[in-house]
Amino acid sequence: MNIAEGLQSVEIGSDRLQLVAAAGDALCRVKQVKPEHLRGRTLLLREHGSSTRAGAESLLGERLKEFERVVEVPSAEAIKQAVASGLGVAILSSWATRLEEAAGLLKPVRDPLLRRERRFFLVKRKDRALGGTAAALWDCLTTCKPKVGATISRRRSQPH
Protein backbone atom coordinates (compact mmCIF):
# COMPACT_ATOMS: atom_id res chain seq x y z
CA MET A 1 0.00 0.00 0.00
CA ASN A 2 1.25 3.48 -0.88
CA ILE A 3 1.56 5.55 2.31
CA ALA A 4 -0.38 8.46 0.78
CA GLU A 5 -3.33 6.14 0.05
CA GLY A 6 -3.72 5.50 3.76
CA LEU A 7 -3.83 9.19 4.67
CA GLN A 8 -6.44 11.90 4.54
CA SER A 9 -5.19 15.45 4.12
CA VAL A 10 -6.91 18.83 4.17
CA GLU A 11 -5.24 22.12 3.23
CA ILE A 12 -5.65 24.51 6.15
CA GLY A 13 -3.58 27.50 5.09
CA SER A 14 -0.65 28.95 3.23
CA ASP A 15 2.03 31.56 3.59
CA ARG A 16 4.96 32.90 1.61
CA LEU A 17 8.65 32.48 2.33
CA GLN A 18 10.35 35.70 1.33
CA LEU A 19 13.67 37.50 1.59
CA VAL A 20 13.21 40.43 3.96
CA ALA A 21 15.43 43.36 4.86
CA ALA A 22 15.17 46.44 7.05
CA ALA A 23 12.54 48.71 5.52
CA GLY A 24 15.08 51.37 4.46
CA ASP A 25 17.55 48.92 2.91
CA ALA A 26 18.35 49.60 -0.77
CA LEU A 27 17.87 45.89 -1.49
CA CYS A 28 14.12 46.39 -1.03
CA ARG A 29 14.03 48.64 -4.11
CA VAL A 30 15.85 46.20 -6.43
CA LYS A 31 13.51 44.47 -8.91
CA GLN A 32 15.96 41.69 -9.82
CA VAL A 33 18.52 40.71 -7.18
CA LYS A 34 21.90 39.86 -8.67
CA PRO A 35 24.88 38.20 -6.93
CA GLU A 36 26.57 41.57 -6.40
CA HIS A 37 23.56 42.75 -4.37
CA LEU A 38 24.18 39.93 -1.88
CA ARG A 39 27.98 40.14 -1.60
CA GLY A 40 29.16 41.65 1.66
CA ARG A 41 25.81 40.93 3.33
CA THR A 42 24.95 38.73 6.28
CA LEU A 43 22.20 36.15 5.92
CA LEU A 44 20.41 35.17 9.12
CA LEU A 45 18.99 31.64 9.00
CA ARG A 46 16.94 29.48 11.33
CA GLU A 47 18.56 26.36 12.81
CA HIS A 48 19.00 23.06 10.96
CA GLY A 49 15.80 21.01 11.14
CA SER A 50 13.57 24.08 10.78
CA SER A 51 11.21 24.00 7.79
CA THR A 52 11.91 27.71 7.34
CA ARG A 53 15.64 26.92 7.09
CA ALA A 54 15.03 24.16 4.54
CA GLY A 55 12.76 26.47 2.54
CA ALA A 56 15.33 29.27 2.66
CA GLU A 57 18.12 27.02 1.42
CA SER A 58 15.89 25.74 -1.40
CA LEU A 59 14.73 29.24 -2.35
CA LEU A 60 18.23 30.74 -2.39
CA GLY A 61 19.94 27.78 -4.06
CA GLU A 62 23.27 28.89 -5.56
CA ARG A 63 22.73 32.43 -4.26
CA LEU A 64 23.47 31.15 -0.74
CA LYS A 65 27.21 31.19 -1.48
CA GLU A 66 27.10 34.89 -2.42
CA PHE A 67 26.56 36.04 1.17
CA GLU A 68 29.69 37.04 3.08
CA ARG A 69 28.36 35.54 6.30
CA VAL A 70 25.63 33.08 7.18
CA VAL A 71 24.60 33.20 10.83
CA GLU A 72 22.35 30.58 12.40
CA VAL A 73 19.81 31.99 14.85
CA PRO A 74 17.37 29.68 16.69
CA SER A 75 14.53 32.20 16.98
CA ALA A 76 12.44 33.92 14.31
CA GLU A 77 11.86 36.79 16.75
CA ALA A 78 15.61 37.35 17.19
CA ILE A 79 16.08 37.21 13.41
CA LYS A 80 13.34 39.81 12.86
CA GLN A 81 14.91 42.16 15.41
CA ALA A 82 18.38 41.75 13.90
CA VAL A 83 17.09 42.37 10.36
CA ALA A 84 15.07 45.42 11.46
CA SER A 85 18.27 46.76 13.07
CA GLY A 86 20.13 46.40 9.77
CA LEU A 87 22.36 43.51 10.86
CA GLY A 88 21.46 41.30 7.89
CA VAL A 89 18.70 39.89 5.72
CA ALA A 90 16.64 36.72 6.16
CA ILE A 91 14.17 34.38 4.53
CA LEU A 92 11.10 34.34 6.78
CA SER A 93 7.43 33.44 6.63
CA SER A 94 5.00 36.18 5.65
CA TRP A 95 2.98 35.19 8.73
CA ALA A 96 6.00 35.77 10.96
CA THR A 97 6.74 39.22 9.52
CA ARG A 98 3.18 40.55 9.17
CA LEU A 99 3.32 42.91 12.17
CA GLU A 100 6.83 44.19 11.41
CA GLU A 101 5.88 44.90 7.80
CA ALA A 102 2.75 46.78 8.91
CA ALA A 103 4.88 48.78 11.39
CA GLY A 104 7.36 49.70 8.64
CA LEU A 105 10.27 47.81 10.23
CA LEU A 106 10.75 45.05 7.65
CA LYS A 107 10.08 44.89 3.95
CA PRO A 108 10.16 41.98 1.50
CA VAL A 109 12.57 42.24 -1.40
CA ARG A 110 10.72 42.96 -4.68
CA ASP A 111 12.36 40.19 -6.72
CA PRO A 112 9.65 37.53 -7.30
CA LEU A 113 12.34 34.84 -7.54
CA LEU A 114 13.03 35.39 -3.83
CA ARG A 115 9.47 34.53 -2.78
CA ARG A 116 7.79 31.15 -2.63
CA GLU A 117 4.30 30.15 -1.59
CA ARG A 118 3.93 27.17 0.69
CA ARG A 119 0.82 25.31 1.72
CA PHE A 120 -0.02 23.72 5.06
CA PHE A 121 -1.98 20.50 5.47
CA LEU A 122 -3.62 18.69 8.32
CA VAL A 123 -3.02 14.94 7.87
CA LYS A 124 -4.47 11.87 9.58
CA ARG A 125 -4.67 8.15 8.99
CA LYS A 126 -7.83 6.97 7.24
CA ASP A 127 -7.97 3.71 9.16
CA ARG A 128 -8.01 5.26 12.64
CA ALA A 129 -10.58 7.49 14.28
CA LEU A 130 -9.33 10.52 16.14
CA GLY A 131 -10.48 10.90 19.71
CA GLY A 132 -10.77 13.64 22.29
CA THR A 133 -8.59 16.68 21.76
CA ALA A 134 -7.23 15.46 18.41
CA ALA A 135 -10.77 15.10 17.01
CA ALA A 136 -11.74 18.53 18.32
CA LEU A 137 -8.64 20.11 16.79
CA TRP A 138 -9.29 18.38 13.43
CA ASP A 139 -12.91 19.60 13.43
CA CYS A 140 -11.93 23.14 14.35
CA LEU A 141 -9.16 23.44 11.77
CA THR A 142 -11.15 21.86 8.96
CA THR A 143 -14.38 23.80 9.55
CA CYS A 144 -12.80 27.14 10.49
CA LYS A 145 -9.97 27.08 7.95
CA PRO A 146 -10.93 30.28 6.06
CA LYS A 147 -10.65 32.16 9.34
CA VAL A 148 -7.39 30.67 10.66
CA GLY A 149 -5.10 33.48 9.43
CA ALA A 150 -7.52 36.21 10.51
CA THR A 151 -7.91 34.63 13.95
CA ILE A 152 -4.15 34.46 14.43
CA SER A 153 -3.76 38.12 13.43
CA ARG A 154 -6.54 39.32 15.73
CA ARG A 155 -5.20 37.43 18.71
CA ARG A 156 -1.67 38.76 18.21
CA SER A 157 -2.85 42.34 18.03
CA GLN A 158 -5.05 42.29 21.13
CA PRO A 159 -3.52 43.92 24.25
CA HIS A 160 -2.74 41.57 27.14
Q: Divide the 160 residues of the chain into consecutive groups of 10 and give the mean pLDDT of each group.
A: 81 93 96 96 96 95 96 96 98 96 97 94 92 92 63 41
CA–CA distance, 93 with 77 (Å, rounded to integer): 12
Give exposure, 55-84, as e/b (b: 16+ Cβ within 10 Å): bbeebbeebeebbeebeebeebeebbebbb
What pLDDT score does 83 carry? 98
pTM of the entire structure?
Answer: 0.79
What pLDDT score does 1 carry? 53
Say which residues have a Cβ less than 8 Å from residue 54's Cβ, sequence separation at least 6.
Answer: none
What pLDDT score does 94 carry? 95
Tell me which H or E stretch contains 139: helix 132-143
Q: Going from the N-terminus, what domains does the chain have, and what CATH number goes with each?
A: 12-118 (3.40.190.10)
